[in-house]
Amino acid sequence: MEKHHASHSRFFALHAHFYQPPRENPWTGQIDPQPSAWPFHDWNSRIARECYLPNACARINDSSGRVLQLANNYLHMNFNFGPTLFSWLEKNYPFYYRKIIQAGRDSLERTGHSNAIAQAYNHMIMPLASFQDQLTQALWGIKDFEHRFGFKPEAMWLPETAASDDTLRLMVDLGMKYVILSPYQAEKIKAHNAHAWEDVSSGDFDTTRPYSWHDTLPDGTRIKNRSLAVFFYDGPLSKAAAFEDLTRDSSAFAERVEGCYRHGSQGPQLVSMAVDGETFGHHHKFGEMTLAHAFLHELKKRGIETVNFGQYLAANPPAARGARKARPGRRRHRLELRARGAPLEGGLRLRKGGQLQP
147 vs 151: CA distance, rounded Å: 8
Assign 3-state DSSP to the chain and report helix, strand, coil percentages, each to 5: 35, 25, 40
- Count Cβ atoms within 10 A of the Cβ of residue 222 and give its class: 0-12 exposed, 13-18 middle, 19 or more buried: middle
pLDDT above 70 (res 275): yes
pLDDT above 90 (res 74): yes
- Residue range 60-77: mean pLDDT, rounded: 91
pLDDT above 80 (res 333): no
Domain span including residue 204 = 10-20+41-356
Considering the domain boundaries, does residue 234 fall inside one? yes
- Residue range 310-335: mean pLDDT, rounded: 54
pLDDT above 90 (res 219): no
Considering the domain boundaries, does residue 160 fall inside one? yes
Question: Confidence class of residue 266 from pLDDT cuts 50, 70 and 90?
Answer: confident
13 vs 271: CA distance, rounded Å: 7
Position 337 scores a pLDDT of 45
Question: Confidence class of residue 349 from pLDDT cuts 50, 70 and 90?
Answer: very low
Q: Looking at the 3D structure of the chain, how many domains does it have?
A: 1
Question: Confidence class of residue 341 from pLDDT cuts 50, 70 and 90?
Answer: very low
Position 50 scores a pLDDT of 97
Considering the domain boundaries, does residue 303 fall inside one? yes
pLDDT above 60 (res 320): no
Position 325 scores a pLDDT of 25
pLDDT above 60 (res 155): yes
Considering the domain boundaries, does residue 3 fall inside one? no
Q: Terminus-to-terminus CA distance in the chain, angstroms?
A: 47
Position 253 scores a pLDDT of 96
DSSP states along 79-132: EEE-HHHHHHHHHH-HHHHHHHHHHHHHHHHHHSS-SB-EE-TT---GGGS-HH
For the CA atoms of 9, 14, 15, 18, what is the dihedral angle to 10 degrees?
A: -160
pLDDT above 80 (res 5): no
Considering the domain boundaries, does residue 99 fall inside one? yes
Sheet hosting strand 211-216, strand order edge to edge: 178-181, 222-232, 211-216
pLDDT for 12-42, tens place per residue? Answer: 999 999 999 999 999 999 999 999 999 999 9
Using the Cα atoms of residue 64, residue 302, residue 76 and residue 123 in order, give the sign of their dihedral: negative
For helices 250-258 and 235-243, angle between their N-to-C axes, nearest 10 degrees: 170
Helix (H) or strand (E) holding 275: strand 269-276
Position 336 scores a pLDDT of 42
Query: Mean pLDDT across the chain, nearest whole number?
Result: 86
Position 246 scores a pLDDT of 94
Position 7 scores a pLDDT of 53
CATH number at residue 237: 3.20.110.20
pLDDT above 90 (res 331): no
CB 161 within 8 A of CB 119: no
Between 265 and 306, name the one with better pLDDT. Answer: 306
Radius of gyration of the chain (CA): 20
Contacts (Cβ under 8 Å, ≥6 apart) of 160: 125
